[in-house]
Structure 1
Amino acid sequence: MVRELVRRMRRKYRSIRGDNLRGRMRKRKAVLAMSAAVMGFSTGAVDISAFDPQHKISFQQIDPTQTRVHALELVSSDTMKEALAEEEGVRLTVYRDVAGYPTVGVGHLVRPEDGLRVGDRISYDQALDFLEADLRRAEQGVKRLVGDLPLYQHEFDALVDLVYNVGEGNVSESQSPNLNAAIQMADYDGIASELTYTTAAGKVARGLEFRSERRQSIFMSATYEDPRAIEVDMRGQATT
């Protein structure tokens, strides 16, 4: 099953302009196929001891889409994984992102221990391994960030996208004081207003503007749709 999902990742997530509806639809299908691989990851059990050594937290069976729960109960939803796959795409050759950092796979920031340089290629299996590890790291970063603040599933998802996108260091109290203050005050509207990160290397990036808009919609109203999503008018023309 995994091999089949990996094979389907061969299609690239490319930007296609104009009214080429067929090309746009192919891109959409490729992204959905790749997101299927993401959603196939095993979430595993939450290691409560890593955050609560005294094991004082007692979880109940509560629907996090209807009631806010402790972040330790949560992992990324399948809908969020699909959105993440759409935003990041997949690249098997190490490249420099808009900020100039070596990147590969599904938005994986190359680390020294990866032993990779710009121009190196990785396998589909490696891309999936990087993605799974990065997603788990982002989820743990969110749990450290929010502490005891209860969250809906969609609020947790939006924060995972934030940490995945900008890194845990950039949501620290020193780098994002307003976000951390809103969390301390349990000001959910304030948190939503601080989810906009639109610059890379000191320049505003249009893609990050769209992603921030989507992230805020996820946090505030559980709306996961891509603001750049393809629509077809009455004449059969593709629009964005």
Structure 2
Amino acid sequence: MKASKSAVDLIISFEGLRLDAYRDPGPGTPTIGYGTTVYPNGTKVKVGDGISANEASEFLAFDVDKFAAGVSAHVAGRTLTQNQFDALVSLAYNIGLGAFAGSTLLKKLKGGDTAGAGAQILVWNKAVVHGVKQVVPGLKRRREAERALFLKKSAPPATTAATLIGPSAQPGAAAGATHAPGAVAVPGKNYLLLTRTAGTDKGLTLLQLTYVKDGRSKAHILVYSGTSRHQVFRKGANSQMGSLEPLPEGRWFVHDIRWKDGRDNYTGTFFNPGIGPVTIPLDFKGPGATARAAIEMHIDANRASNPGTAGCVGVRSVADFTTLVTWLRDTDPRGLFVDYGLGSCPNP
């Protein structure tokens, strides 16, 4: 199983964001970002390290995937709801996969005692503080939140008109209308194309994001991807998680727009400090596979102070993002073709 947004939100709410490394008040482990102790490349965090909010977000995505994979392996053979799984991922993220693997909670879960497993979440509310093992208020609150999520019924996934990017999300569409890519009968092909330009912006290579409608280029905006120190363009198979480089060349699937505080709200709550109030997730579809994950298209919320992204497509202004949304609502293009001239981008 994969962790959902509920797991990520729960982890963020208790871990908080620290851009300078600090020692965890319990075991004293150097920690940074949203609770990261080991970088994706295997290097341990050390006191004195500093990262950007974008880097923290990519490290979080890597860590959540890692812990989700670990929990999945340990609960193999058991059927869990999404909420139960998300609660266990948050728990494992905090106590470690080793502790989770040896826990009474896991034994009860494997034995079919789901209620007993849920109750065991509350046991993990202690830490050694000043040499004494004691209940820590923050851990107590986190365990209670995780158990509440574990016990919460998981609703089936639903797509509403407020979150769709396709024609069924247009004003007047029926609320709750389902969405299917290619639902509009338009001759030719509709897609997005991302290519390099010779221009730069604050040390970042400017990329041209073009809207192709009915096989013809209709409009474009300039965007960027990656951090200024990591402007290396690679094919999917050669692009590593945590590299902070631009998203790799290839074909990507464009998912529905996600609004934090409702459709067309560009001034609402941010998903996190590096991502604004709206984002569009992307999935790599080839050729082959890539280690990159958590790639999205979003407004670069830190553009004024710390421009760049951890690999996402960074849109430089609300006006440009509004233009992008207009394209998506026009013909619902679901393909993003990233072509850096490396020879691996398939034909649309």
TM-score by length of structure 2 reads 0.40
Stretches (4+) displaced over 3 A: 110-113
Match of 1:187 in 2: 113
- Matched with 1:165 is 94
2-structure distance, mates of 1:172, 1:116: 24
What is the aligned partner in structure 1 of residue 296 from structure 2?
A: none
* Unmatched 5+ stretches in structure 2: 155-348
**In the superposition, relative to structure 1, how do residues 164 and 141 fare at CA in structure 2: closer, same or farther (>3 Å)?**
same
CA shift for structure 1 position 126: 2.0
Give yes or no for contact 1:101–1:109 (8 Å, CA) kept in 2: yes
Q: How does 1:53-68 map to 2 (within 5 A)?
A: none
Aligned with 1:87 (options 1, 11, 14): 14
Larger radius of gyration: 2
Q: Any conservation in 2 of the 1:95–1:104 contact (CA below 8 Å)?
A: yes
Task: Give the equivalent residue in structure 1 for 2:46.
Answer: 117
1:116 to 1:163, Cα distance in 2 relative to 1, 3 A? closer
TM-score by length of structure 1 reads 0.57
Computed over aligned residues only, the root mean square deviation of the Cα atoms, in angstroms, reads 1.9
| CA distance in 2 between partners of 1:215 and 1:222 (Å) | 13
Shift of 1:129: 2.1
1:108 is paired with a residue whose SS is coil
Higher relative contact order, chain-length normalized (CA < 8 Å, sep 6+): 1
Gaps of 5+ in 1: 1-73, 224-240
**Cα separation, 2, equivalents of 1:115 and 1:180:** 28
AA aligned to 1:180 is L
Shift of 1:222: 4.6
Instruction: Give the Cα separation in 1 of the matches to 2:44 and 2:92.
Output: 24
Cα drift, residue 124 of structure 1: 2.2
Q: How many residues align?
A: 147
Q: Classify the secondary structure of the residue corresponding to 1:200.
A: strand
The code of the aligned residue for 2:49 comes to: D
Specify which structure has the higher proportion of helix: 1
Task: Answer yes or no: is the 8 Å Cα contact 1:91–1:106 preserved in 2.
Answer: yes
Deviates more, 1:138-147 or 1:194-203: 194-203
Give the percent of matched residue pairs that are identical in Structure 1 and Structure 2. 33
Distance 2:55 2:7 in 1: 21
The aligned residue for residue 142 of structure 2 is 211
- Structure with the higher strand share, 1 or 2: 2
